[in-house]
Amino acid sequence: MITQGQVLKIHSDFYYVNFENNVIECKLREVLKKQQKKVVVGDFVEIEDEKIQNILPRNNYIPRPAVSNIDQMIIVSAVKEPVLDFIQLNRYICFSKYYKIPVKLCFNKNDLSFDDEIIEKVFSIYEPLGYDIIFTSAIEDDNIDELAKMLKGKTSALCGNSGVGKSSLVNAINPDLNLRTQNVSDKTERGTHTTRHCEILKVSDDIRIVDTPGFSNLRFDFMLPSEISGLFVELDKFKGLCKYSDCLHIHEDGCAVLNNIENIDETRYESYLSFVEEAKEYKERIKYYGKKEETYSKEYNNKSIAKISVRKRQESRKLSKQKLEKEDIKDETIY
């Protein structure tokens, strides 16, 4: 009998699927491997005889780290230790917007802040943009109940730099989980990864968190420069108002963004410029190599079947040609 469940964890070639509050260890069906169908944590799948038969359509998907069907992204930053990096924070916000995942902002280690300057700056930048904001302290149990309410009834992914206290916050909500934590290095002022794999954790009866090994290597080298402004709410509202349709809002004449630059936060605009430079790398790459990618399956009679790769098709054609040439030589010999 075919049943449906959600992939909670992947280890080696084994997929741990939640079905009616029971975790079943499954393998991937061989035809899915041939089609190079990738199953990720969060996928809803059909299983039969402890084998994954099919991957159900995803509501959303993030390729790095690979996870799907997230209800919301909780971006965790530290008020101090490590120093709050606004460009990195904006990077997480823009990635979430690109993948159409709702965002909430959590600023942890509030116990280390001895002035209100950072708090005021955070609210002045992100509250007008419509983001929910919460300040917490896992050490002093500050606003942990409020954070739990924010997570209630959803599958949430926590992302943020290493050392900001993601695991500590989860432990504060449910100490029984006892997730590994590690202090920030005094030398580098950075944390180290304590999460080694992606997994959906059941924190309580109505709270599920995607524990991931981190989003630290994210870059916008998969988009065109003209698409970056759409990830910034305050820039996107000027769409179509610039003198030139291909305006990148950097130094162009008649740019509506530059004409209103005093109303845009400096760290947000600095982030935009940085992401555009990364996107230019992508534009340069596809100029010479294109962006078409080979697919490994095709639809036939409403069924997904494996395709023969380009390389194998070419090899097959060569063999066919050689066979025909041999037959021609054989025919000539006879006559």
Q: Are residues 53 and 70 in the same domain?
A: no
The answer to whether 189 and 83 are in contact (CB under 8 A) is: yes
Q: Is residue 220 part of a domain?
A: no
Q: 284-287 long-range contacts, Cβ below 8 Å, gap at least 24?
A: 285/221
Domain identity same for 193 and 129: yes
Residue 217 lies in a domain: no
166 and 106 fall within a common domain: yes
Q: Do 206 and 310 belong together in one domain?
A: no
Residues 6+ apart with CB under 8 A from 183: 163, 191
Maximum CA pair distance of the chain?
A: 99
Domain-located, residue 330: yes
- The pLDDT assigned to 21 comes to 84
Task: Let me know whether 112 and 245 are in one domain.
Answer: no
Are 76 and 110 found together in one domain?
Answer: yes
Q: Count of CB atoms within 10 A of residue 279's CB?
A: 21
Digitized pLDDT (tens) for each residue of the chain, 335 residues in all? 889 999 999 998 899 999 988 999 999 999 998 888 899 999 999 999 999 999 999 999 998 788 999 999 999 999 888 888 999 999 999 999 999 999 999 999 888 776 678 889 999 999 999 999 999 998 899 999 999 999 999 999 998 888 888 889 999 999 988 876 655 444 444 444 445 578 999 999 899 999 876 566 789 999 999 999 999 999 999 999 999 999 999 999 999 999 999 999 999 999 999 999 999 999 988 877 766 555 555 555 555 555 555 555 555 666 666 666 666 655 555 44
Contact 255, 243 (CB under 8 A): yes
Clarify whether residues 250 and 160 are in a common domain.
no
Residue 242 belongs to a domain with what CATH number?
1.10.40.50
pLDDT at 186: 43
Whichever domain contains 87, its CATH number is 3.40.50.300
Exposure string of 14-28, with b = 16+ CB inside 10 Å and e = fewer, is ebbbbeeeeeeebeb
Task: Quote the pLDDT of residue 295.
Answer: 58
Residue among 134, 90, 133 at smallest CA distance from 267: 90
Residues 247 and 171 in one domain: no
Same domain? For 92 and 144 the reply is: yes
Note the pLDDT of residue 191.
42
Q: What is the predicted pLDDT for the residue at 335?
A: 45
Q: Which helix (H) or strand (E) holds 200?
A: strand 199-204
Model-level pTM? 0.80
Q: What is the pLDDT of residue 74?
A: 95
* Shared domain check, 156 and 242: no
Which residues does residue 107 pair with via DSSP β-bridges, in sequence order? 77, 135
211 vs 167: CA distance, rounded Å: 8
Task: Decide if 256 is inside a domain.
Answer: yes
Q: Which of 155, 187, 211 is the last residue of a domain?
A: 211
Looking at the 3D structure of the chain, how many domains does it have? 4
Q: Are residues 93 and 119 in the same domain?
A: yes
Q: How many CA atoms lie within 13 A of 205 on its CB side?
A: 0
Q: Give dist(CA 159, CA 32) in Å, integer.
A: 30
CA distance 201 to 334: 74
Can you give the residue range of the structural domain that contains 283? 225-289
Residues 261 and 160 in one domain: no
- Per the DSSP assignment, residues forming a β-bridge with 63 are 66
